[in-house]
Amino acid sequence: MDIALSLLVLTVIALILGAIVLYRRGGYRKQAGLMLVLAGVMIVNIVIWTLPNREGKSLSSEAKKEQAPE
């Protein structure tokens, strides 16, 4: 689960930087906007998985507990 969340964060960073580059080029404003929307959706997913609930448990911590022992 940690690897997936780390890849999500890196992808968000890459999407934001790519959107900035496309926006500055000119003719790719729609694609840059869509990249920012996708980055926003991914950020919401990260928050959902890592934000603790009232009991102090997050979805990612619960997923770690349910994994088979190694």
End-to-end CA gap in the chain: 15
pLDDT of residue 64: 72
- Contact yes or no for 11/42 (Cβ under 8 A): yes
Find, among 36, 49, 34, the residue nearest to 2 by Cα. Answer: 49
Provide the pLDDT for residue 24: 93
- The answer to whether position 37 is within a domain reads yes
Residue 68 within a domain: no
Q: Is residue 62 part of a domain?
A: no
Span 1-10, pLDDT tens digits = 788 889 999 9
Number of independent structural domains in the chain:
1
Q: What is the pLDDT of residues 20-64, one digit of tens each?
A: 999 999 888 999 999 999 999 999 999 988 888 888 887 777 777
Domain membership flag for residue 27: yes
pTM equals 0.79
For residue 36, the enclosing domain spans 13-52
